[in-house]
Amino acid sequence: MKDNKILSTRKVHSNGITITGLFNVQKLKGIQFESIREESFLKLAEMDVSVTKVVDQPVKIHLDDFNYTPDFYLEFNNRRPAYVEIKTAEYLKKLIKFHQSKVDQIKNWCQLRNIDFYIIPIDKIPEPIIVNTFFLSGYKEKIVENSIKQLILKKIVKKKSFNQKQLIESISTENCIDKRTLLVQLWSLASSDEVLVDMRSNMNIFTKVKSKQKDKSNFLKFPYYI
């Protein structure tokens, strides 16, 4: 069930310790977050092509002896919607140990409305994946010159795998193209999944680059934790 009427129900506020803010990219424009963990989750959702809609603080759920507001509501192009709560793995462990009945009530409420419910332990996601996702998202809107794109793709197909330094130097030497221009174009291609890079270690000039493979992506798919 997709509900176009689901809207944010409250403004987020910092408690003086947490970081709050708004996303301004097209898919998540105006979406609030109230912690670095929530910001990381939203960045993963931004780069996940299956996510079509995100609403922050989406609904106040009235249950037997408590009220609950999820962090986010998500819609997808390949699965039913989901309410999401962002926690640490340690917090989730305590939540399940001491408040399992409340979690079950929330899940049942969602199930009756044909909506999934996930508590996502965001710190279970390897940090390099999140850092690299943030980095590549900055190149998502860059315009890729088709002539340079073809040079990069043909070179990768020939050798199967390069590191970024080898690839850029090879194309620059053969075609007299500025290395910085090539690097920006390469990152733009990675941001749109037209080339694959190693996301599990911090990206640098020695990061491996491979040609696109069917059903493979540089970015995690919901619910993101591995």
- What's residue 33's pLDDT? 93
219 assigned to some structural domain: no
User: H-helix or E-strand containing 118?
Assistant: strand 116-121
Nearest Cα to Cα of residue 145 among 174, 186, 113, 173:
186
156 assigned to some structural domain: yes
Is the Cα torsion angle 97, 101, 103, 107 positive or negative in sign?
A: positive
Are both 29 and 116 inside the same structural domain?
yes
**3-class state of residue 174 by DSSP:** helix
Query: In the listed set 110, 125, 140, which residue is the last one of a domain according to the structure?
Result: 125
Tally of domains within the chain:
2
- DSSP string across 178-199: -HHHHHHHHHHHHHTTSEEE--
pTM summary value: 0.89
Query: In the listed set 64, 93, 125, which residue is the last one of a domain according to the structure?
Result: 125
**How much helix, strand and coil, in percent to the nearest 5, is found in the chain?**
40, 20, 40
Query: In the listed set 70, 93, 125, which residue is the last one of a domain according to the structure?
Result: 125
Distance of alpha carbon 21 from alpha carbon 39, whole angstroms: 8
Per-residue tens of pLDDT for the chain, all 226 residues: 566 567 666 666 555 556 677 777 778 888 999 999 999 999 999 999 999 999 999 999 999 899 999 999 999 999 999 999 999 999 999 988 889 999 999 999 999 999 999 999 999 999 999 999 999 999 998 888 999 999 999 999 877 678 999 999 999 999 999 999 999 999 999 999 999 999 999 999 999 999 988 889 999 999 998 6
**3-class state of residue 157 by DSSP:** helix
Nearest Cα to Cα of residue 198 among 111, 126, 116, 99:
126
Domain span at 204:
128-211
181 assigned to some structural domain: yes
Distance of alpha carbon 207 from alpha carbon 26, whole angstroms: 29
**Residues with Cβ within 8 Å of residue 158, at least 6 apart in sequence:** none
